[in-house]
Structure 1
Amino acid sequence: MADADGVSVRVADERDMPAIAALRRAWLEERTGTAVDDPGFEAAFAQWWRVELPRRTFWVAETGSARSGFTAVGSINVVEIVHMPRPGARGGRIGHVGNAFVLASFADRGVPGALLAAAIEHARTRHYRRLLLAPTAGSAGFYRRAGFVPVGGDLLTLGE
């Protein structure tokens, strides 16, 4: 579903892996202000993706259309953690939000909120007890405004 700025958010699949790898590279380059020369990164990312895909759900924010082509402008993922049951209590599931990134030119266009909303809806659908995340100093306020509260150390939680 596209918002007013023509940005849509959807669950990512195998076809999106190169775009999400490119966003990961852009994340580092925006942080450091310089291009990163690592020709093996994309292959390493692809290997990581294959290992992580069974327990993570990825979302991609994109602009464009089927006719003109799509351009990824942001992504987020949630790792599902299933707790081991113990006598007297059954295990439950929580989600850990990670690797949220939006290109700087789209950060003030509602894209971060749309990606986070997709992750929160996923947590509700999957009946997670809570969502956890470890925000950067710069993103902590954004997550607090979305309802996340401190849970100890640098972690924030939504739920339970």
Structure 2
Amino acid sequence: MPESDLVVRMADERDEAALAGLRRAWLEERAGRPVDDPGFEAAFAQWWRLELPRRTFWLAEAGSEQSGWTPVGSINVVEIVHMPRPGARSGRIGQVGSAFVLSAFADRGVAGALLAHAVRHARERRYRRLVLAPTGSSASFYRRAGFDAAGDSLLVLDPLAVAD
């Protein structure tokens, strides 16, 4: 996909409905059918309000200025501040959550572009680690991006040690 056809930007409160719609579409793709849940959007809005102070969201959109932009993927990072202990101060890590891309855009560089924003954010915030619990099908993507195994279900990346 040409770069001009894809925009990745930090999401804000105006993007709540787009992110909820994208989350629903992604799940319905995987289920292979519509998911009947009329209360989902309200539940998402409530979750969004609770999580927004500690999460940073990015939204990938495909299109152009002329034709308009369509949400095609998103990723978020939740900041976790460790409790200080005697002899050591607290540090921060980031946890990648709810990364997804619509299947029509899966092999077009969208996931890599979203992850690059999350890693850049982790560097800027000076996180000690960026962690995630990948699905079986996504683990190889994250390993190729520099994440290493940390137990059976976590992958970890030192964002300060990885070059752009």
Q: TM-score range by the shorter chain?
A: over 0.9
Could you tell me which residue of structure 2 aligns to residue 46 of structure 1?
45
TM-score w.r.t. length of structure 1:
0.95
Displacement of 1:30 after TM fit? 1.3
Q: For residue 153 of structure 1, report the CA deviation from its aligned partner.
A: 2.3
Distance across 2 between alignment mates of 1:142 and 1:5: 24
Q: Deviations over 1:91-130 (max 9, x none)?
A: 0000000100001011111000000000000000000000
Deviations 1:69-103 (A, max 9, x none): 22100000000000010000010000000100001
Q: In 1, distance between residues paired with 2:27 and 2:4?
A: 25
The corresponding residue for 1:103 is: 102
Partner of 1:132: 131
Deviation string, structure 1 residues 36-70 (Cα, Å, up to 9, x no partner)? 01111001100100000000000000022344322
Cα distance between partner residues in 2 of 1:114 and 1:133: 17
Distance 2:122 2:30 in 1: 29
User: What's the counterpart of residue 87 of structure 2?
Assistant: 88
C-alpha contact (below 8 Å) 2:132/2:154 kept by paired residues: yes
Q: Which residue is 1:37 aligned to?
A: 36
| Alignment of 1:118 onto 2:113 | no
Task: Output the CA distance in 1 between the equivalents of 2:141 and 2:97.
Answer: 14
Q: Distance in 2 between matches of 1:10 and 1:3?
A: 16
Q: Offset at 1:28? A: 1.2
Aligned residue for 1:75, secondary structure, equals: strand
| Structure 2 unmatched ranges of 5 or more | none
The 3 A distance-change label for structure 1 pair 33 and 5 is farther
Question: How far apart in 1 are the matches of 2:84 and 2:9?
Answer: 32
Shift of 1:139: 0.1
Q: Secondary structure at the match of 2:63?
A: strand
Which residue of the partner structure matches residue 156 of structure 2?
157
Instruction: Tell me the percent identity.
Output: 72
> Counterpart of 1:82 in structure 2: which amino acid?
V
1:9 aligns with 2:8: yes
Cα distance in 1 for residues equivalent to 2:148 and 2:119: 14
Map 1:14-33 → 2, pairs under 5 A: 14-33=13-32
CA RMSD after TM alignment: 1.4
5+ residue gaps, structure 1 = none
State the alpha-carbon separation in 1 of the partners of residues 39 and 69 from structure 2.
25
Moved over 3 A (4+): 65-68
